[in-house]
A and B are shown apart, each in its own frame.
Chain A
Amino acid sequence: MPTACLATGYSMTPASTAAAPDTEDARAAAGGDRAAFQRLYRRHADRIHGAVLRLAGYDHARAEDLTQDAFVRAWQKLAEFRHESAFGTWLYRLAVNVALMDIRSRHADPVGFVDHESLPEHGDTPFCAAERDELERVIAKLPPRARAVLVLHDIEGWKHEDISRELDMAVGTSKAQLHRARALLRKLLGETA
């Protein structure tokens, strides 16, 4: 694997942004202070949009709608936020739920993987040469629920227990979905599993 393909670092955590201003702004926003809520939006929009974008299969227009929806719901539910976790963590979870609800509302087939016959044959390009955009493009091709499991587990770092709860499936089903999603992804990327 060429050096260019190696990761360049991984430091993003769900609540990595400043917690103290968040706490103050969250309290103020819960009291109706829109300027405080706007500050929360500015601090968290990119990270929230990133997670939603991945779950939405890199459909930018839909992801923007979902991000917007997530912030509106956050505003609505601010009074219920008990500050038991970081605001960023609470907001991230809420936004992921919004994205997953969207997947569910679209009646995504729980096991509706792409027909293997319709996949392209293995290409000549090895996986390590694939650019980040290529990987994102291929993830976008996965069926919604399979993509959700892959994104939540392999990218967002969730456990199968949490994924199964959110997606209303058995833990075993979540593991099976992940296994198949990975195989499908490798195939789409032209790599033998």
Chain B
Amino acid sequence: MNDFEWRRQLRELRQPHAPRRDLWAEIERSLDNTPIADATTTPASRTAWLFAAGLAAVTVLAIGLMRLSPAMAPPSADLATVPVWKPDDPRLAGAAVELTAAQYELRQAIQQSPNSTALQRLLDRTEQQESRLRQLGHDAS
């Protein structure tokens, strides 16, 4: 038998086979203990973690930039009054601390280098992330 006939024989096996018994009753029983996974919460919580990871990266970058900048002056009074966001969700709390610290340090750095567009961009991005994270926290609750 040549290869063509051989493969044709094999492809012929690709046919539906009815189970010997109706499996539906057992499947339905199993469904009682099997909730449908909620696709709406999983990506949201994943997004929250991605935000947190992104914030950590921004913080590290900001600290790195600040170390490259000239010696800093002591923080001014208005820096000490950066509003602190304290979400109830423990998953967001860590990110909130990072955000507040990042904003505080970025503003310090901007005071030292007011013409730095990179620092300003980082601050803008950090504020945007805080805003989106607040929205996520609001949606989750």
Contact = CB atoms under 8 A, between A and B. Distances in A.
Interface of A: 1, 5-8, 10, 12, 30, 32, 34, 37-38, 41-42, 45-47, 49-50, 53-54, 60, 63-64, 67-68, 71-72, 75-80, 126-128, 132, 135-136, 139, 150, 154-157, 182, 186, 191
Given A45-B23, A127-B6, 20 more contacts: A7-B9, A30-B36, A45-B19, A46-B19, A49-B17, A50-B17, A60-B20, A64-B19, A64-B20, A64-B21, A64-B23, A68-B23, A68-B27, A72-B31, A79-B36, A80-B39, A126-B1, A127-B1, A182-B6, A191-B1
Contact of B14 (A10, A63, A186, A191): A10
19 contacts: A6-B8, A10-B8, A10-B14, A12-B16, A38-B24, A45-B24, A46-B19, A49-B18, A49-B19, A60-B19, A67-B19, A68-B23, A76-B34, A76-B36, A126-B1, A136-B13, A139-B13, A154-B11, A155-B11
SS of B interface (majority): loop
B35 interface: yes
B37 to A, nearest CB: 6
Interface of B: 1, 5-21, 23-24, 26-28, 30-31, 34-40
Given A76-B37, A79-B38, A67 B23 contact: yes
A156 to B, nearest CB: 6
Q: Lowest 10 A-B CB distances belong to which pairs? A: A79-B39, A46-B16, A50-B17, A154-B10, A50-B16, A47-B16, A7-B8, A72-B30, A7-B12, A46-B18
Contacts of B1: 1, 126-128, 191
B107 to A, nearest CB: 42
Contacts of A8: 12
Q: Which among B34, B38, B39 has the highest number of chain A CB atoms within 10 Å?
A: B39
Given A10-B11, A45-B18, A157-B11, A71 B36 contact: no
A5 B23 contact: no
Contact of B36 (A32, A38, A67): A32
Contacts, number: 113
Contact of B13 (A38, A64, A67, A155): A155
Contacts of B14: 10, 12, 50, 54, 155-157
Nearest to B10: A154
Contacts of B7: 154
Contacts of B20: 60, 64
